């Protein structure tokens, strides 16, 4: 475990040096992500021009939900996104060979090579919106709520990871797999809606099997609806997180067995 | 002779997409998730209100999103910008520059080829959605809507393609075009009516979108088919749409000419 830490620290250092040498790129990505986020806030403005509530969520509760979604997805993107997005290409070109030869768990080496510093700044922007919404709602969370919120953020980021990792492993079967990366964004796009709008089979699938609906809703509920079963919510999140990680791990191992490299 | 050349390239485009059919099928399948999410969202909003929103009732709202899904599947370029940028960055255009071939013509033929196969692959899925939500689908009441819809759909396809083409031309000057691609895409996502019908925007902003190119990439053809834009507004829209197509074509051509002049043919 300490060895992995040491390796990760080196990788992190490398990424920071890399970022420092592509400053314009760094700023552009920052701007891109900011635009996306502001677009979503605009969307909330538009929605709440025509309604007072969505389900029983008020406007600032929804802004808090979207801010939370932003924090979680940016934490995930900072640590893992670029690496997983590159996986289909590694498989297609056979460059995965090099990573498989390293004396570490291959899942670790394909997941952690690069770190996105710009995403961390976007985490801050998401957090600002969350704090602002709390102010608008007049809520001062208890220390335990803040602790649970932070833990839920990390669990949520791991669920994002499991979903995208599972999608990326499909590239072992279908050669070109850019579609899978769009798949990730399509799947998590429903994470920013209040859970109460969903029902039926759709809700069942996306709260248990591909648990995107709970990812942002649980931490948001922990802050704004402290009274409604916080322990159960956390338990649900932990449960589906473990399930998702385990499933993606099994898929990955299955996929690796199928890998036969490419060209020379 | 000239046409035969491009017909062959069109065929290549057809086959290229067919080779990677799973990639495109999956992409289209995943697009159903946000679509259903949107349906749920508006169902929740309309549960507590009964008057229409920005001219849309629940049914026409769902129909709007079905149509955006259909139009996206029909005309949105899928990977053209990445391919063009790679052609330039990796020096693939060397072999094209020495052939008696117009690069834009080459890319348009490929684009059309891609679109035909992609649409054919994903059409069963899209039609399935139309069947699922058939009670909200209202076919145009006026015969001429079909013609206008087809015209604005074609213009929208070329507008989307020329925007993509112009953005990809940046590869002559910068190494990584992905940030620019995503910045343009975010404007398209929010201002072309992908996330919500533009009629929901406040009046001033709504009028502004009439002059920007984005609404003509998606919202306008959908509104024409849905018959929420008719009469003089329709003709005005078609003219602006055609002007934007011409402008983006011009920008792309200009960038190409400038780009090739400074191009140094790396790799090969």
Q: Cβ of B189 under 8 Å from any chain A Cβ?
A: yes
Interface ipTM: 0.90
> Rounded distance, CA A30 to CA A199, Å?
36
How many distinct structural domains can be found in chain A?
A: 1
Q: Looking at chain A, which residue has its C-alpha nearest residue B182? A: A32
Q: Which residue has the tokens 């065929």?
A: B11
pLDDT at B67 over 80: yes
Q: Which residue has the tokens 């970022």?
A: A19
Q: List CB contacts of B96: < 8 A, sequence separation 6 or more.
A: B87, B103, B106
**What is the model's pLDDT at position A174?**
79
Q: pLDDT tens for residues B68-121?
A: 999 999 999 988 888 999 888 888 888 888 888 889 999 999 999 999 999 998
pLDDT at B268 over 50: no
The radius of gyration of chain B from alpha carbons, rounded to an integer in Å, stands at: 20
Q: Cβ of B15 under 8 Å from any chain A Cβ?
A: no
Q: Looking at chain A, which residue has its C-alpha nearest residue B21? A: A174
Q: List CB contacts of B75: < 8 A, sequence separation 6 or more.
A: B115, B153, B156, B157, B160
In a domain, A263, yes or no: no
- For A54, list phi and psi in degrees, rounded to 5: -110, 115
Q: Looking at chain A, which residue has its C-alpha nearest residue B206? A: A46
Token pair recorded at residue A16: 């920071």
In a domain, A82, yes or no: yes
Distance of CA B220 to the CA centre of its chain: 11
Q: Cβ of A54 under 8 Å from any chain B Cβ?
A: yes
Q: Find chain A residues with C-beta within 8 A of B190's C-beta.
A: 39, 42-43
B12, B113 Cβ separation under 8 angstroms: yes
> Rounded distance, CA B2 to CA A172, Å?
41
Token pair recorded at residue B137: 């689908």
Domain that residue A253 falls in: 2-258
- Per-window interface: B 110-139 vs A, CB < 8 A: none
Q: Cβ of B49 under 8 Å from any chain A Cβ?
A: yes
A207, A213 Cβ separation under 8 angstroms: yes
> Rounded distance, CA B74 to CA B70, Å?
6
**For chain A, how far is it from start to end, CA to CA, in angstroms?**
34
Q: Which residue has the higher pLDDT, B23 or A137?
A: A137
Token pair recorded at residue A32: 């891109």
A226 SS3 class: coil
Work out the minimum CA distance from B188 to partner chain A, whole angstroms.
11
**Helical spans, DSSP H, in B133-177:** 144-169
A147, A175 Cβ separation under 8 angstroms: no
- Per-window interface: B 193-212 vs A, CB < 8 A: 195-196, 200-202
Instruction: Report chain B's mean pLDDT, rounded to a whole number.
Output: 91
DSSP 3-state helix, strand, coil percentages of chain A (rounded to 5)?
80, 0, 20
B40–A194: do the CB atoms touch at under 8 Å? no
Range in A14-18, A84-88, A164-168 the model is least confident about:
A14-18
Q: Looking at chain A, which residue has its C-alpha nearest residue B52? A: A50
**What is the model's pLDDT at position A136?**
94
Q: pLDDT tens for residues B133-166?
A: 999 999 888 989 999 999 999 999 999 999 999 9
A223, A134 Cβ separation under 8 angstroms: yes
B33, A202 Cβ separation under 8 angstroms: no
Q: CB atoms < 10 A from the CB of B246, how many?
A: 13
**What is the model's pLDDT at position A214?**
94
Dihedral (Cα; B36, B38, B43, B44), 10-degree rounding: 120
Work out the minimum CA distance from A251 to partner chain B, whole angstroms.
17
**What is the model's pLDDT at position B265?**
67
Question: Quick one: average pLDDT of A176-191?
Answer: 84
Query: What angle in degrees, to the nearest 10, is found between the helix axes of A23-49 and A59-76?
Result: 160
Considering only CB atoms, B196 lies closest to which of A43, A54, A175, namely A43
User: What does each C-alpha distance from A254 to A169, A248, B91, B136 come to in angstroms?
Assistant: 9, 10, 38, 43
Q: pLDDT tens for residues B13-33?
A: 888 888 878 888 888 889 999
Q: Which residue has the higher pLDDT, A2 or B166?
A: B166
Residue B1 confidence class, pLDDT cut points 50, 70, 90: low
> Rounded distance, CA B23 to CA A84, Å?
16
Question: Quick one: average pLDDT of A181-202?
Answer: 91
Distance of CA A215 to the CA centre of its chain: 9
In a domain, A43, yes or no: yes
In a domain, A6, yes or no: yes
Using the CB atoms, write b or e for B200-238: b if 16+ within 10 Å: bbeeeeeeebeeebbbbbbbbbbbbbbbbbeeeebeebb
**What is the model's pLDDT at position B266?**
62
Q: List CB contacts of A137: < 8 A, sequence separation 6 or more.
A: A58, A60, A61, A64, A224
Query: What angle in degrees, to the nearest 10, is found between the helix axes of A212-224 and A178-188?
Result: 30
In a domain, A61, yes or no: yes
Q: Cβ of A144 under 8 Å from any chain B Cβ?
A: no
Residue of A35, A168, A179, A217 to mutate when probing chain B, most B C-beta within 10 A: A179
Token pair recorded at residue A135: 């102010």
Considering only CB atoms, A54 lies closest to which of B22, B41, B82, namely B41
**What is the model's pLDDT at position A23?**
78
- For chain A, percent of residues with pLDDT exceeding 70: 98
pLDDT at A48 over 80: yes
Give the Cα-Cα-Cα angle A200, A206, A211 (nearest 5 degrees): 145
Question: Quick one: average pLDDT of B195-218?
Answer: 94
Which DSSP symbol is given to A198? -
Task: Return the H-helix or E-strand segment holding A185.
Answer: helix A178-188
User: What does each C-alpha distance from B225 to A187, A215, B30, B58, B193 come to in angstroms?
Assistant: 28, 37, 25, 17, 14
Q: Looking at chain A, which residue has its C-alpha nearest residue B196? A: A43
pLDDT at B267 over 60: no
In a domain, A13, yes or no: yes
Q: Which residues pair with A57 in a beta bridge?
A: A54
Question: Quick one: average pLDDT of A100-105?
Answer: 88
Question: Quick one: average pLDDT of A45-50?
Answer: 88
Residue of A46, A47, A81, A92 to mutate when probing chain B, most B C-beta within 10 A: A46
Q: Cβ of B2 under 8 Å from any chain A Cβ?
A: no
CA atoms within 13 A on the CB side of A222: 28
pLDDT at A24 over 90: no
Burial class (CB in 10 A: 0-12, 13-18, 19+), A105: exposed
Residue of A50, A54, A211 to mutate when probing chain B, most B C-beta within 10 A: A50
User: What does each C-alpha distance from A173 to A105, A180, B163 come to in angstroms?
Assistant: 21, 12, 33
> Rounded distance, CA A20 to CA A38, Å?
26
In sequence order, what E strands does B112-249 have?
A: none
In a domain, A264, yes or no: no
């Amino acid at each position: 475990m300490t060895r992995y830490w040491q390796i990760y620290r080196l990788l992190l250092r490398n990424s920071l040096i890399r970022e420092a040498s592509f400053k314009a790129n760094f700023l552009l990505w920052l701007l891109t992500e900011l635009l996306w986020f502001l677009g979503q806030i605009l969307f909330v403005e538009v929605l709440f021009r025509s309604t007072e509530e969505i389900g029983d969520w008020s406007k600032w509760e929804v802004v808090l939900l979207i801010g939370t979604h932003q924090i979680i997805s940016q934490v995930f993107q900072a640590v893992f996104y670029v690496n997983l997005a590159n996986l289909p290409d590694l498989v297609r070109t056979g460059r995965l060979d090099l990573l498989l030869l390293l004396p570490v768990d291959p899942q670790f080496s394909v997941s952690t090579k690069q770190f996105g510093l710009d995403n961390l700044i976007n985490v801050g922007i998401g957090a600002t919106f969350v704090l602002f919404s709390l102010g608008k709602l007049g809520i001062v969370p208890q220390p335990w709520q803040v602790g649970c919120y932070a833990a839920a953020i990390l669990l949520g980021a791991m669920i994002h990871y499991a979903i995208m990792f599972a999608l990326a492993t499909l590239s072992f079967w279908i050669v070109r797999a850019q579609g899978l990366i769009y798949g990730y964004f399509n799947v998590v796009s429903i994470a920013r809606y209040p859970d109460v709008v969903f029902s039926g089979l759709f809700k069942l699938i996306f709260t248990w099997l591909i648990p995107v609906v709970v990812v942002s809703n649980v931490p948001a509920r922990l802050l704004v609806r402290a009274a409604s079963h916080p322990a159960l919510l956390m338990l649900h999140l932990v449960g589906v997180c473990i399930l998702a990680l385990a499933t993606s791990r099994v898929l990955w191992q299955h996929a690796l067995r199928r890998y036969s490299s490419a060209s020379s | 002779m000239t046409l035969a050349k491009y017909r062959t390239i069109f065929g290549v485009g057809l086959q290229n997409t067919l080779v990677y059919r799973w990639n495109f099928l999956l992409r289209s399948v995943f697009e159903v998730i946000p679509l259903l999410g949107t349906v749920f969202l508006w169902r929740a909003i309309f549960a507590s209100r009964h008057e229409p929103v920005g001219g849309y009732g629940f049914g026409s709202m769902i129909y709007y999103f079905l149509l955006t899904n259909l139009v996206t599947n029909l005309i949105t370029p899928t990977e053209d910008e990445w391919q063009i940028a790679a052609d330039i960055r990796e020096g693939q255009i060397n072999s094209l520059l020495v052939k008696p071939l117009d690069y834009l013509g080459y890319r348009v033929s490929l684009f059309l080829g891609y679109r035909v196969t992609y649409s054919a692959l994903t059409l069963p899925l899209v039609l399935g959605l139309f069947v699922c939500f058939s009670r909200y689908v209202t076919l145009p009441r006026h015969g001429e809507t079909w013609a206008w819809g087809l015209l604005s759909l074609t213009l929208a396809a070329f507008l989307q393609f020329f925007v993509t083409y112009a953005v990809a031309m940046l590869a002559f000057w910068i190494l990584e075009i992905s940030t620019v691609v995503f910045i343009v895409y975010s404007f398209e996502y929010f201002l072309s009516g992908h996330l919500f019908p533009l009629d929901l925007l406040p009046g001033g902003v709504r009028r502004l979108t009439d002059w920007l190119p984005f609404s003509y990439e998606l919202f306008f053809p959908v509104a024409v088919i849905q018959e929420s834009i008719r009469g003089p507004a329709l003709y005005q829209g078609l003219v602006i749409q055609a002007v934007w197509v011409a402008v983006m074509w011009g920008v792309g051509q200009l960038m190409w000419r400038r780009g090739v002049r400074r191009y140094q043919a790396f790799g090969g």
